[in-house]
A and B are shown apart, each in its own frame.
Chain A
Amino acid sequence: MIYRLYIAGYQQTEPNAAMTIGVTPASSFLFAPENPDYQAFKTNVLAGAELQDADGNVMTQEQANQFVGGLA
């Protein structure tokens, strides 16, 4: 699974959502603890799934883990 971060909503400046890349069905979701896709996102990234920043640059596993580790 490949994920890409994005900024959702108004007056947001930092990525607060993510979307799946290259799969059907595709999912996009806010970083909301109750959202099942968000829960799977955290689990999958920590397990090694590719995470891209909002510009599409691939993050290292360390960067990805650090980012996900800082989420609620």
Chain B
Amino acid sequence: MPIVLDGSQGISTPMYAGSITSNPVTPSVNMKNRIINGNMTIDQRNAGASVTPTNDAYTLDRWQVNISDNSKFTIQQSSTAPAGFKNSLLVTSSSAFSLAAGSYFVLDQKIEGFNTADLNFGTANAQTVTLSFWVRSSLTGTFGGVLRNSAENRSYPFTYTISSANTFEYKTVTVAGDTSGTWIGATNGVGLYVGFGLGVGATYSGTAGAWAGATYASATGATSVVSTNGATWYITGVQLEVGSTATSFDYRNYTTELQLCQRYLPAFNSANTFDYVGFGFTTGTTNAQMTFQYYVPPRVAPTGVTNSTASNFLFYYGPASHTVSAFTFVGGGSRMSIMNCTISGGPAGGTSGVLFANSATAQLLFTGCEL
């Protein structure tokens, strides 16, 4: 970056001059990128393991699948990535599925209304936005995706072309904001839906490059990844920003990205073979109610918990520790949740203690906060 010494202006550094095109990432600029976990670094649920997602399941943080048929592909975090990135999201087709008219296989991210309200979609002042991403596939051809509103009655199908197999390519799609339809404003609901088609039948495919009053999931004629057994499709560096030009990826530090994700998935993933979870007290010799304090306020209060092997957790109160045999979710608030831990031979009710994990794979995922 050049430094300019000027007699009237002092010292100045013309921002990004001559550097943007050569560097794929730059430091975060106040949430320029409306996509969370666009560089696929956060995978709180699966820690890089391959999964076969069911409809509406979340995979890597913030990335959900919307599918008409189960078991047609797997998803996992991958270390195969273009320069400047460490990870990507990998989809691998599990069969040569023949699409029916009503078939749909989509990877999507629902962006919260608080983070899209300034786009003014649905008004005459709708902002132009640009979607950019790195993509790679074993297939070549024209692929598709969509931007959509929460009511799913305003859709903008788009296309992009992959020219070379098994090579990361950088794609940009500029979309004039929708001046029609109903788009929610600054709320914690779905402000904007960004989807990438992995195979979509005619019913949910529309003409690319125009807003339509319909529910589309991709563009007409787009390549179907799930229709070729073993086909691969990678994506990373996903960015949605205001303006008609794609700029360098808004690279956030890991802590910030993790916190952004935890608004939608409060979670405990044990950092070591010994890690503390929270505090609580016994309600009798076989039950302890333990708290879990979130790192960031969730979008809405959790309504459940999914736990790894319960015996990876212990209730400790000083004289002894007691292995947990089951968790049940008691209640969630804006700052913490309470779980009941079933133990055996514990101290009398009213005894305070600590919940800790004794396994590096111990995990608690608090559910109900995703969009």
Contacts and interface: CB of A to CB of B under 8 A. Distances in A.
Do they bind each other? yes
A9 B303 contact: no
A57 interface: no
Interface stretch (B151-159, B161-169, B326-334): B326-334
A30 B329 contact: yes
Given A35-B368, A37-B306, A37-B367, A30 B331 contact: yes
Contacts of B370: 36
A51 interface: no
Contact of B303 (A24, A25, A26, A38): A38
Interface string B359-371: 0000101011010
Contacts of A8: 328-331, 340
B309 interface: yes
Interface string B313-335: 00000000000001111110000
A49 interface: no
Interface in A14-44: 17, 19, 24-30, 32, 34-38
Nearest to B57: A36
Name the prevailing secondary structure of the A interface residues: mixed
Contact of A29 (B57, B304, B308, B340): B304
Contacts of A30: 303-304, 329, 331, 368
B118 interface: no
A27 B368 contact: no
Nearest to A34: B368
Interface residues of A, number: 18
A35 B307 contact: no
Interface in B45-95: 56-57
Given A24-B309, A30-B303, A30-B304, A36 B367 contact: yes
A71 B177 CA distance: 40
A28 B368 contact: no
Contacts of B339: 28
B327 A28 contact: yes
B305 interface: yes
B260 interface: no
B300 interface: yes
A53 to B, nearest CB: 15
Nearest to A27: B306
Contact of A32 (B56, B304, B306, B365): B304
A29 B331 contact: no
The residue in B306, B307, B308, B331 that gathers the most chain A C-beta atoms within 10 A of its C-beta is: B306
B368 A25 contact: no
A9 B56 contact: no
Contact of B305 (A9, A28, A34): A28
A32 B303 contact: yes
B327 A29 contact: no
B308 A34 contact: no
Nearest to A26: B307
Contacts of B367: 27, 29, 35-37
A19 B307 CA distance: 11
Interface in A55-69: none
Contact of B56 (A19, A26, A36): A36
Contacts of A19: 326, 328
B331 A35 contact: no
A26 B329 CA distance: 11
Given A35-B367, A36-B368, A28 B329 contact: yes
Given A8-B331, A19-B328, A27-B306, A32 B368 contact: yes
Contacts of B56: 36
Contact of A37 (B300, B304, B309, B331): B304
B310 interface: yes
7 contacts: A25-B307, A25-B363, A25-B365, A27-B306, A28-B304, A28-B327, A30-B331
Given A8-B331, A24-B308, A25-B365, 6 more contacts: A25-B307, A26-B306, A29-B303, A35-B303, A35-B304, A35-B368
